[in-house]
């Protein structure tokens, strides 16, 4: 696992997508895998499990934005942690292993169970943040970047978001992907940066879809999702 220390210089290009995530109409075309309750008590999207956390992976879920995005984009959203323990994750550059659309009917069914996303027939990068599920995650807060197929941990950095009892929010999260460079930021602070050489962990992933995942019994709120084309500055 290696992280780059040189800061990537970029600029935001055309806005490709914008969604306030403020009501049911904003996510009427989103696709749920697994079972979850989506509500908007503060005019921002609240996600929580409906199945008993004792069911383990079966209680977790993924909520996908249906839009296909090009390569080299900047993804940003506001985040509020409401209840822990749990964990939040964002998938990006998600496609079928052979380039199929993520929802191609030829792909295996997915229901929120983690191995279906890292050892099945799709490829994706995914960032996990606000990792408060297990005791070691709660005692030492990190954000992790993984690349799948294969669940490769490729970059890691300290998570600046405090636990729920001290969290104020919103925390502005930004995920930048410029070709083979990935940068993850919280409130404009770089958490990690990684260069995908396209060799060590398989070919570089391009384009695809984004989705939000939570581990039960986490409750999180999200707003102001924005995706821009990313250009070298």
DSSP notation for 75-96: EEEEEEEEE-S-EEEEEEEEEE
**pLDDT by position in tens, the chain (length 233):** 544 445 558 899 999 999 999 999 999 999 999 999 999 999 999 999 999 999 999 999 999 999 999 999 999 999 999 999 999 999 999 999 999 999 999 999 999 999 999 999 999 999 999 999 988 889 899 999 999 999 999 999 999 999 999 999 999 999 999 999 999 999 999 999 999 999 999 999 999 999 999 999 999 999 999 999 999 87
User: Phi then psi for 165, rounded to 5 degrees?
Assistant: -65, -20
Give the integer Cα–Cα distance in Å for 73 and 176. 6
pLDDT (0 to 100) of residue 136: 85
Distance CA 91, CA 129 (A): 12
- The domain defined by 10-103+111-232 folds into Jelly Rolls (2.60.120)
The pLDDT, as a whole number, for residue 84 is 96
- The pLDDT tens digits of the residues spanning 145-200 come to 999 999 999 999 999 999 999 999 999 999 999 999 999 999 999 999 999 999 99
**Domain map (residue ranges) of the chain:** 10-103+111-232
Residue-level pLDDT at 56: 96
Q: What's 46's DSSP letter?
A: E
User: For the sheet containing 122-129, what is the strand order?
Assistant: 31-33, 61-64, 209-215, 87-96, 122-129, 142-148, 152-158
């Amino acid at each position: 696992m290696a992280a780059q220390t040189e800061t990537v210089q970029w600029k935001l290009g055309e806005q490709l997508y914008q969604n306030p995530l403020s009501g049911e109409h904003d996510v009427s075309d989103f696709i749920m895998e697994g079972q979850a309750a989506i509500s908007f008590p503060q005019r921002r999207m609240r996600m929580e499990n409906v199945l008993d956390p004792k069911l383990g992976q079966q209680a977790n879920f993924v909520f996908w934005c249906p839009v296909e995005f090009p390569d080299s984009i900047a993804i940003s959203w506001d985040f509020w942690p409401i209840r822990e323990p749990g964990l939040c994750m964002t998938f990006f550059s998600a496609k079928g292993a052979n380039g199929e659309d993520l929802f191609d009917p030829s792909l295996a069914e997915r229901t929120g169970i983690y191995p279906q996303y890292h050892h099945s027939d799709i490829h994706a990068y995914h960032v996990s943040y606000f990792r408060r599920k297990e005791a070691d995650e709660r005692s030492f807060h990190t954000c992790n970047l993984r690349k799948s197929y294969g669940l490769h941990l490729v970059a890691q950095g300290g998570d600046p978001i405090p636990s729920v009892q001290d969290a104020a929010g919103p925390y502005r999260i930004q995920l930048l992907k410029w070709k083979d460079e990935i940068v993850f930021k919280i409130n404009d602070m770089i958490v990690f940066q990684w260069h995908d050489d396209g060799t060590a962990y398989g070919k570089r992933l391009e384009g695809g879809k984004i989705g939000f995942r939570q581990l039960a019994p986490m409750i999180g709120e999200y707003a102001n999702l924005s995706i821009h084309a990313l250009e070298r500055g």
